[in-house]
Amino acid sequence: MKTNYLLLRLNIIISFCSLFFATTINAKTCAKVKPVDFNDLTIKGELITRIQKNFDRLEETKYQPDHVFLDDKQSGHWPGDTEGRTILGLIQNSRSSKRTPLYLEEIIRRVPQHLNAKGYMGKIHPDGVLDEQQLSGIGWLIRGLCEYYEQEKNPQTLQIVKTIIDSLFIPSKGLYSGYPINPETRNLKIGEAMGNIYKSHNNWYLSTDVGCVFIGMDGIIHAYKHLPSVELRAVIDEMVNRFLEMDLLSIKAQTHASLTAMRGLLTYATLTDNYSLVEEVEKRWQLYLSYGMMENFANYNWFRRYDAASEPCAIVDSYIVALMLWELTQKEEYLPYLDLIYYNALAHAQRNNGGFGTDCFKTPDKCHLTVNLPEAHWCCTMRGADGLANVAQSSYYFNTNSVYFLHFIDSEAIIRPSKGKSIKISQKSEYPFKGKITLKLTNITGTENIQLKFKLPSQWVDNLKITRNGKKIKSSIDKGFVVLQQNWANNDSISIIFNNKLQIVKALNKEHYPCPMKKIMFGPLLLGTNKGVDRILPEKIKVQQTGHLQFSIVDTDILLNPVYHLMNPSVIKGDGYNKQVIFKTEITTN
């Protein structure tokens, strides 16, 4: 065992040396900010409630060692998918809650028993034949095992990943460039919540989840952090190039697969300092906003298929992509999407059992948000854990000069900007339901002059007032953040008070909603009415707040409240739940 570990470490060192000279560094390098370490973070409030409930769900019978390993038929021909996502979900829940998983170690112990003769899951196809669902599912297995390795430093886990890569991904070099991306080779109108293999073409078994092969690419990019080699890099480069060649709109690619691929490209950009990949993701993010994002900031399962339901897996990846784009570019345009996606899409999709289900917009006029599937227990429930953990960790980012507050939540964090320097921050937040955030600063060591930067988009916030120990202090604005620069002292108390703006905004998707349609926002919260029939707003819309998170349209009987909910049991009943969030106005009906 020790010999195998030493050989593995030696291979990694040799690979790093060979890659040192092969890597091309782009003139633009990626920005350097990083999130707080989970070990230095304690989450409280509504977010920890969500995390713990999801954790409970992932320890129920379905996800326990005797049931989580599926054969090909049971998995719907997605080998490794359920197993990998479950491992990933348990790890992320454990990190964000500091709770020990009951069954994770046993699941990891049993993984080798479920590998085929070549060391991976699923069928062994003839040489030259690839199954994109197999590559996708095993991509999740690789991600889960890599996350486990990062947490536990178990060399046997990394050896399993290396065997999978060496026996499945690397031998198929040259085939990835032939992955079918011509729309004429794909059926652009089929597919359900769980994708399926529906045809073979050019030695590829193709899925209705168009582009899911690139989920496998994301998995091996993650592995590349720990197992760099010239051979693996060649495979990654081939897959990256093919993804960049694919027209997401004309082929109507699955948004989940596309967003996962984008996340992989951003990871690869940081590993290779290739900023051009960030720019490529930025282009595709804009396509997603225009042709893939739902009006509640979830996703349509395929680009330009507006009759499709959402998929929380994609919602999670959209959050992570927006977060990573901000990390790497520092552009403020990405910041609002963090709140919009979390509060209106991810929070809406979490069910009262802790799992995650799919939503859709239904008639009349596709204006009514409702439940499509109560729970996508085979994928989204596990990825929901990944999403919640990323939301938790995004609460605090930092560099040597600044602390960035990206998600306001009851929490405690120790920020360590450099060796020997630290600051403890205790936060109480009523955002976004009320405009009140309070901080207490303690254990200040060498951080007296650190900047505190708060993500408070000006389009949502009004009448901002900031005090330190009861006295008003000045602030400035920088790239979407309210910046405080003071000489901080132990036990400083900071209070941030503001009003959420009520706004009337246009629908996102001009192609799907060609006539002017309106949405009503309270800060980042999307509002809707529970009336089952289509309501039309007056030409001149005036909204007033009538109670806590209760609103009305003046001179009408239309009552509004947020689509956000904290695992409300009623949001699982299919047609029994219906909320209109997109509105025509009287002038648009003429």
Whether the CB-CB separation of 543 and 502 falls below 8 Å is answered with: yes
Helix (H) or strand (E) holding 361: strand 358-362
Adjacent-strand bridge partners of 551: 545, 560
244 closest CA partner among 258, 223, 229, 228: 258
**Distance in angstroms (rounded) separating the CA atoms of residues 68 and 580:** 38
**Distance in angstroms (rounded) separating the CA atoms of residues 392 and 48:** 9
- Secondary structure (3-state) at 294: coil
**Distance in angstroms (rounded) separating the CA atoms of residues 244 and 254:** 15
386 closest CA partner among 79, 170, 104, 144: 144
What was the pLDDT predicted at 467? 98
Paired tokens of 206: 């193709």
Strands (E) across 393-537 are located at 397-398, 402-405, 411-418, 421-429, 436-445, 451-455, 461-468, 471-472, 476-478, 481-484, 492-500, 502-506, 518-522, 525-528, 536-537
Q: What angle do CA 142, 378, 308 make, to 5 degrees?
A: 110
CB count within 10 Å of CB 378 equals 18
**Residue type, position 298, single letter:** A
Contact partners, residue 266, CB within 8 Å, separation at least 6: 277, 278, 281, 321, 324, 325, 328
Burial 400-413 (b: 16+ CB within 10 A, else e): eebbbbbbbbbbeb
233 closest CA partner among 225, 143, 150: 225
What was the pLDDT predicted at 60? 98
Phi, psi of 469 (to 5 degrees): 55, 40
As separate numbers, helices (DSSP H) first and strands (DSSP E) second, the chain gives: 15, 27
What was the pLDDT predicted at 17? 45
Instruction: Compute CA 30 distance to the chain's CA centroid, rounded to the nearest angstrom.
Output: 20
Whether the CB-CB separation of 45 and 392 falls below 8 Å is answered with: no
Burial of 515 (0-12, 13-18, 19+ CB in 10 A): exposed
What was the pLDDT predicted at 575? 59
Provide the pairing of β-strand 130-131 with 204-207.
Answer: parallel
What was the pLDDT predicted at 321? 98
CB count within 10 Å of CB 552 equals 17
**Distance in angstroms (rounded) separating the CA atoms of residues 487 and 450:** 8
Burial 454-481 (b: 16+ CB within 10 A, else e): bbbbeebbeeeebebeeeeeebeeeebb
Contact partners, residue 140, CB within 8 Å, separation at least 6: 80, 81, 83, 84, 85, 88, 215, 219
User: In what order do the strands lie in the sheet containing 579-580?
Assistant: 358-362, 368-373, 579-580
Provide the angle, in degrees to the nearest 10, between the axes of the packed helices 312-329 and 255-272.
30
Whether the CB-CB separation of 412 and 425 falls below 8 Å is answered with: yes
**Distance in angstroms (rounded) separating the CA atoms of residues 305 and 180:** 20
pLDDT tens, the chain, 590 aa long: 444 445 455 554 444 444 443 343 343 556 689 999 999 999 999 999 999 999 999 999 999 999 999 999 999 999 999 999 999 999 999 999 999 999 999 999 999 999 999 999 999 999 999 999 999 999 999 999 999 999 999 999 999 999 999 999 999 999 999 999 999 988 778 888 788 999 999 999 999 999 999 999 999 999 999 999 999 999 999 999 999 999 999 999 999 999 999 999 999 999 999 999 999 999 999 999 999 999 999 999 999 999 999 999 999 999 999 999 999 999 999 999 999 999 999 999 999 999 999 999 987 788 999 999 999 999 999 999 999 999 999 999 999 999 999 999 999 999 999 999 999 999 999 999 999 999 999 999 999 999 999 999 989 999 999 999 999 999 999 999 999 999 999 999 999 999 999 999 999 998 988 788 999 999 999 999 987 778 999 989 999 999 999 999 999 999 999 999 999 999 986 557 889 999 998 876 55
Contact partners, residue 9, CB within 8 Å, separation at least 6: none
88 closest CA partner among 137, 47, 135: 137
- Secondary structure (3-state) at 574: helix
What was the pLDDT predicted at 31? 65
Whether the CB-CB separation of 418 and 400 falls below 8 Å is answered with: yes
Provide the pairing of β-strand 402-405 with 397-398.
Answer: antiparallel
The position carrying tokens 């596709």 is 366
Q: Which domains does the chain have, with CATH numbers?
A: 2-394 (1.50.10.20), 402-457+461-500 (2.60.40), 502-589 (no CATH)
Whether the CB-CB separation of 320 and 21 falls below 8 Å is answered with: no
Phi, psi of 283 (to 5 degrees): -60, -45
Whether the CB-CB separation of 328 and 31 falls below 8 Å is answered with: yes
Paired tokens of 569: 């049991």
